[in-house]
Amino acid sequence: MSKVQMRQPARGTGEPHRGHFVYVKLCEALRQGKFAPGQKLKLREIAGQFDTSLTPAREALQRLVAQKILTSNLNSTITVFDPTAKEFLEFTRIRIDLECLATEWALENISPEQLQVISNKHDKYKQALQRHNWQQVVAANEKFHMSIYEAADMPNLLEIIQDIWLKMGPTIGQYLSKKGFIESRELTDTHDDLIDALSSKNKRAAQKAVKQDIETLAQYIYRIKNMSD
Amino acid sequence: MSKVQMRQPARGTGEPHRGHFVYVKLCEALRQGKFAPGQKLKLREIAGQFDTSLTPAREALQRLVAQKILTSNLNSTITVFDPTAKEFLEFTRIRIDLECLATEWALENISPEQLQVISNKHDKYKQALQRHNWQQVVAANEKFHMSIYEAADMPNLLEIIQDIWLKMGPTIGQYLSKKGFIESRELTDTHDDLIDALSSKNKRAAQKAVKQDIETLAQYIYRIKNMSD
DNA sequence: GGAATATTTTTGTTATAACAAAGGTCATCA
DNA sequence: TGATGACCTTTGTTATAACAAAAATATTCC
């Protein structure tokens, strides 16, 4: 059977092209923890999965490689970024810096409506926590933090932060799925502290909460990561 | 005349593939200020310039788009990133944060040999300044700063910083080429302050110097940028 | 002459074929 | 059994053709 691929419009009006579509879908999958760190991604598999040719599939992969979300190895294989323990610490340090910066700006600009939105996100996070569904917890946690950083009104900073979250996503997801941590109440408390600090515009306290939130999770993962080495 | 392209090896042993080569060359050109902000880049032109087909040329461009060094517009044209005045300020703020972080780590780890290297880079910078060659000044300035950030031993942070430098490169180059600024002695002084602070391991002073170095240049450009709006 | 329309050219996108390197399979021989 | 080598398969890379949208140019009509 000679399966000939139906040609897609070369450039839909305004619509993103096919390579971008594959890219977005891969990002989603990455965020949902559907890929493990170090996992190999094959060109023809992805092309088949999205019913497209090699060209858009390759574009999407190369784009993720450029963002260092995927890693291009010497033998031309492409794998999901799998940071060493040292790299994990480095990104943790960078995250603290950038997310404290975003928090500082958010705190200065934030409106009561935005604060309410943030509080709602935290409620959703707590609900997911009670359901013991780590995948929902991760998603809700991301939405909570991003809603704060969005309030900073620094779109380029937001992108850099989201980039790093995507890079670390698979690693964090991998370790969070090993139950145990989500029982901890530490993160809920730091979220509460953060909301309080934002509403009282206490910059020092807000940054302290952000730092603690990042470090609590990171230290947990770093411990396991070192053990498995 | 039917010019048939000689096929390149699909995957040289260890050597980077063709798309990567084009990418590196474009980065170089970008760093050397050979592209103006907003300039349009055409696929077939680049492919011809590097004597290759559309595929590797497109890969290189998409890669730069993924890094936001180039901008993909709605009508599918690709242009050199041209930040608004507001974005320029945002990146300036991010740079201060990240480069202060790198400086902090460099200060803690730095060896006397590295300090000597940094000092040499500053000499080269001053020499270029005396020659009134802004292109050399820009290159030497970049090398000076990067030699500090390299001492931080945070390769991923270094990459993020270099990314932002590449993004701002064309804009900075554009305004620096409008003579006048390189006569200023301010930047030379902050470099001296920075070296002193590093050698005496004075963290506060080092970060102050970094901040001033970034802001001095940024405010100059921001002023002109706003004027031309 | 100038605005509206038709035609041509340019340009980005995608499917596909050909290719080279790497990896795996299986037979052969010690 | 275990290593060696020949073969086949898989996989990433690149050149190219076909195509659609956009831009540029020419043409027509008032």
d(CA A49, CA B178): 52
When the pLDDT of each residue in chain A is averaged and rounded to a whole number, the result is 89
CA distances from B70 to A166, B36, B199 (A): 21, 11, 38
- Rounded to whole angstroms, how far apart are CA atoms A19 and A63? 9
Whether residue A34 is predicted with pLDDT greater than 50 in this model: the reply is yes
Average pLDDT, chain B: 89
Q: Where are the alpha helices (DSSP H) in A74-185?
A: 85-109, 112-130, 134-151, 155-176
Q: Do A94 and B93 touch (CB under 8 A)?
A: no
Q: A18-27, B15-24, B32-41, B142-151: lowest mean pLDDT where?
A: B15-24
3-state secondary structure of B114: helix
Q: Amino acid identity of A218?
A: A
Query: Which residues in B lie closer than 8 A to residue A103 (C-beta atoms)?
Result: none
Residue with the bigger pLDDT between A53 and B220: it is A53
CA-nearest of B7, B202, B1 to B110 is: B202
Phi, psi for B79 (deg, rounded to 5): -125, 160
Q: Which chain A residues are within 8 Å of B69, Cβ to Cβ?
A: none
Instruction: Tell me phi and psi for residue A8, to 5 degrees.
Output: -90, 155
Gap between the Cα atoms of B152 and B154, Å rounded: 5
The integer distance in angstroms from the CA atom of B10 to the C1' atom of C20 is 5
Min distance B63 CA to chain A CA atoms (Å)? 5
For the CA of A53 and the C1' of D7, the distance in angstroms is: 29
Q: Which of A2-6, A219-223, B136-140, B163-167 has the highest mean pLDDT?
A: B163-167
Q: What does A182-197 look like in DSSP terms, one character per residue?
A: GG-SHHHHHHHHHHHH
Q: What is the pLDDT of residue A1?
A: 38
Residue A15 is predicted with a pLDDT of 58
pLDDT score for B8: 58
Q: Please, are residues A198 and A110 in contact by the beta-carbon 8 Å criterion?
A: yes
The overall pTM is greater than 0.75: yes
- For A111-155, write each residue's pLDDT tens digit: 999 999 999 999 999 998 888 888 888 899 999 999 999 999 999
Instruction: Name chain A contacts of B67, Cβ cutoff 8 Å.
Output: 66-67
Question: Mean of the pLDDT values across residues B136-140?
Answer: 89
Mean pLDDT of A155-162: 97
CA of A4, C1' of D1: distance in angstroms: 49
Let me know how long chain B is: 229
Mean of the pLDDT values across residues B122-129? 91
Distance of residue B124 Cα from the nearest chain A Cα, in angstroms: 31
Residue A13 has pLDDT above 50, yes or no: no
